[in-house]
Amino acid sequence: MKKKLCFLLVWASSLALVFAQTHAAYGNNPQAGHYAPVNGIYLYYETYGSGETLLLLHGNGGSIEAFKNQIPFFEKHYNVIAVDSRIQGKSGGSVDTLSYEMMASDFAGLLDYLHVDSAYVLGWSDGGIDGLLLALNFPGKVKRLAVSGANIVPDTTALYAADLGNMRRIAQSPTSSPREKTLNRMMIDQPQIPYTELKKIHCPVLVMAGDRDMIKPEHTLKIYQSLSSASLCIFPDSYHHVCQQHPALFNETVLTFFKK
């Protein structure tokens, strides 16, 4: 009886440990988290799964946690590298200077640090902008790129006036933190990517958005039309956070594109 009880206690303890490791908070997982010295700062990243590399890039003001519904799915197919962007999550950097180009350079540097020649890349919102710039400025680093809710200009041809106004209020509010001000100022002024530049991206790109996205559908369509090799997916009854709103459909769509 004692041996059986001891076995059950050991089994329960082991199961609890596995459960804790499996369900550790993404973005705060000691078993998966690492820091990489890149471009004079430390980038925080977490790794999951095995196989070819998939780089996950989150949106403005977010962190790795934004992909909590993607990581468990994609780690079955790829070596997933989920990273906190500069001055966001657990990554370092100065609030005095920030640009999408800097972040794209950070991600290229991270891949170099990890000795990854090229990767599949999935970027949501600001991460989609970063992904486009990574493919544009470091073309050898990206095998296939999937972006959702990305814009390439920061004006009313791409974004709704109400959303731009909200960004300005946060950037100018005395109650906003320096980090919040910097992140929102960046979205007000950046990116500035000419449509003609997109033609220089030669890897296949999946352009996605919700039909009720904060990015105007005509802007998403124009990005798709400006790329040399692209696919388009507009999710019905979906908003900017479609990857969180409809994760199963989103994940299968991206995987199908990556596996082409």
**Mind listing the pLDDT tens digit for each residue in 154-177?**
999 999 999 999 999 999 999 999
Q: How far is CA 95 from the centre of its chain?
A: 20
Could you tell me whether strands 41-48 and 79-83 are parallel, antiparallel, or unpaired per DSSP bridges? antiparallel
Could you tell me whether strands 41-48 and 33-38 are parallel, antiparallel, or unpaired per DSSP bridges? antiparallel
Per residue in 174-190, pLDDT (tens digit) is 999 999 999 999 999 99
Could you tell me whether strands 79-83 and 53-57 are parallel, antiparallel, or unpaired per DSSP bridges? parallel
For the full predicted model, state whether its pTM sits above 0.75.
yes
Could you tell me whether strands 142-148 and 119-124 are parallel, antiparallel, or unpaired per DSSP bridges? parallel
**Distance in Å from the first CA to the final CA of the chain:** 56
Q: Regarding the domain with residue range 32-258, which homologous superfamily does it belong to in the CATH classification?
A: Alpha/Beta hydrolase fold, catalytic domain (3.40.50.1820)
Query: Quick one: pLDDT at residue 96?
Result: 96
Query: Quick one: pLDDT at residue 10?
Result: 35
DSSP 159: B
Query: Quick one: pLDDT at residue 24?
Result: 62
Q: 243: number of CA atoms within 13 Å, CB side?
A: 28
Regions of the chain where pLDDT drops below 70: 1-24
The sheet with strand 205-210 has its strands ordered as 33-38, 41-48, 79-83, 53-57, 119-124, 142-148, 205-210, 230-235
The structure tokens listed for 79 are 């070596």
3-state secondary structure of 123: strand
For the chain, the domains span 1-26, 32-258
